[in-house]
Amino acid sequence: MSDLAAIFEATARRMGGKPALVAPEGTISFAGLDARAAGFAGRLAARGIGPGTRVLVAAPVGIALYVMLAGIWRRGAVAVFPEPAMGLRGLLHALRSARPAAFAAAGGYRWLKALPPVWPLPLLGPGPETDGPARLPLPPDHPALISFTSGSTGAPKAIQRSHAFLLAQHRAVLGLLGEDPTPRDLVAFPVFALVNLAAGRTTILPDWRQDRQDRVTGRALSAWIETTRADRLLLPPALVEALARHGLPAGVRHVFTGGGPVFPDVLDRLVRPGLAVSCVYGSTEAEPVAHLEAGEITEADRAAMRAGAGLLAGRPVPQIRVRIAGGEIQVAGDHVNRGYLDPARDAETKVAEGETVWHRTGDAGRLDAEGRLWLLGRVSAVVRRGGHELHPFAVETAARFWPGVARAALAEAGGRAILAIEGDPAHLADWQARGTALGLDAVRLMTIPLDRRHRSKVDYPALRRRLGG
């Protein structure tokens, strides 16, 4: 099968009445999802929307979102998916960058039709189950999705993915999640939900807003897990930390986390008999890159992290090539983005060598003697002092082993190398003494600014501004 729509249709026939999606608004089976997608494809066809037509998608992460995506791909159209964390700015940027011909929306997002830039676009939304037009067969290189980078290091870049790309990504993620259809997965990452829908596995969707993840409490998250009987969790580190503080429900047997660094102190708070924890490293342009099972971290690994060796990310997935060039992690493979919608942006992160295109991740790192990847933090956040380079994760990971430290972030501001620390102020004098030994000024902040997308990565530009740099 060369496209996701074909796989979804085949899975619906195989799984029938099994729950496909469990959401706050209800539950839908695989057969029901396929029927509603067919109905939405019919509405698209009635508007003349077919192969190659770009459709801007705006909806809460719920059943309607996946109905619309499946319907769009059934028609061979291209879903344009704005960066949720950017809110209205992200939607307007998607309009300018991708120039869609239609607007598919659900819930409160339908009111966005009132915006003048959206006026010319026909508004479409999902409806009841109906018999829609037959699925259009598509070649592997047919475009399927346009999404955007987070914009944390400049204007968001539009990435167009073909069906072949999404299927390659599907195979890479499936290698991590497995093909067992029995788990009930609580999924905070849309790409993992798509993998589950193709694999015939039940997906439980968030009951929180994606742009408000910092407001999710461990208590509320635990209640949703227990209500939905989720036994496997796919969550960003910030939500894993919230759960670790509150305590995991007894029924959870496996936690997958990624989208930001996963530090050993967080893993330590999760440890309990019978619980597996997997950490996944990747980027918008290449997901996944590497993975690490928490149980594989040795005492020697911990000692190395404590001594400033960086953060262990684990072994690269089999489907990807990884190299270190000039200290930066570069990756290539079938599920690595080869270029952006605007080719003028390619020079920023792409290195073409014959038929191979390497993606520059912007992360510093190294490969150890076992072929495992270690992260050293953003190349742009390296602090240079006295002819030496201080890498963020080398310092921050080590600092999280210090007494009372909840979070740490390295930055240069006002001509000083500063280690900002969240944590118990009773340990401030100890932090300052340890910082001085490293040539750093340790200061306590109530909160360290984090990224908009997953609230799991330090926002270094915002941190430097806060520190007066």
Tally of structural domains, the chain? 2
Return d(Cα 204, Cα 22) in angstroms, integer. Answer: 5
Whether 341 maps to a domain, the answer reads no
Whether 137 maps to a domain, the answer reads yes
CA torsion sign for 447, 452, 455, 460 is negative
**pLDDT score, position 209:** 82
Mark which of 137, 167, 197 sits at the end of a domain: 167
Q: What residues of the chain score a pLDDT lower than 50?
A: none
Whether 72 maps to a domain, the answer reads yes
Report the 10 Å Cβ neighbour count for 131: 9
Question: ∠ at Cα 73 (257, 150), nearest 5°?
Answer: 40
> What is each CA distance from 289 to 112, 336, 397, in whole angstroms?
36, 9, 20
In contact, 196 and 183? CB cutoff 8 Å: no
Count how many residues are written for the chain: 469
Tell me: the pLDDT tens digits for 104-132?
999 999 999 999 999 999 999 998 777 77
Whether 111 maps to a domain, the answer reads yes
Mark which of 167, 186, 218 sits at the end of a domain: 167
**pLDDT score, position 83:** 83
In contact, 190 and 4? CB cutoff 8 Å: no
Whether 68 maps to a domain, the answer reads yes
What are the DSSP E strand ranges found in 109-156?
123-124, 143-148
In contact, 158 and 340? CB cutoff 8 Å: yes
Mark which of 108, 140, 167 sits at the end of a domain: 167
- Residue 106, domain CATH: 3.40.50.980
Whether 92 maps to a domain, the answer reads yes
Return d(Cα 71, Cα 209) in angstroms, integer. Answer: 23
> What is each CA distance from 378 to 364, 411, 452, 466, in whole angstroms?
6, 11, 17, 19
Return d(Cα 271, Cα 440) in angstroms, integer. Answer: 32
φ, ψ dihedrals at 417, nearest 5°: -90, 115
Return d(Cα 47, Cα 100) in angstroms, integer. Answer: 14
Token pair, residue 185, equals 């997965």
Q: In three state form, how does the secondary structure of 315-349 look?
A: EECCCCEEEEECCEEEEECCCECCCCCCHHHHHHH
Question: ∠ at Cα 349 (345, 355), nearest 5°?
Answer: 100
Q: Identify the domain containing residue 398 by its residue range.
A: 382-466
**pLDDT score, position 1:** 56
**Residue 245 half-sphere exposure, CB side, CA atoms within 13 Å?**
12
Q: Give the global pTM.
A: 0.93
Written as one string, the DSSP assignment of 61-124 is SSHHHHHHHHHHHHTT-EEE---GGGHHHHHHHHHHHH--SEEEE-GGGGGGGGSGGGTTSPEE
Return d(Cα 441, Cα 432) in angstroms, integer. Answer: 7
Q: Which amino acid is at 74?
A: R
Whether 304 maps to a domain, the answer reads no
In contact, 21 and 66? CB cutoff 8 Å: yes
Return d(Cα 453, Cα 189) in angstroms, integer. Answer: 11
Whether 181 maps to a domain, the answer reads no
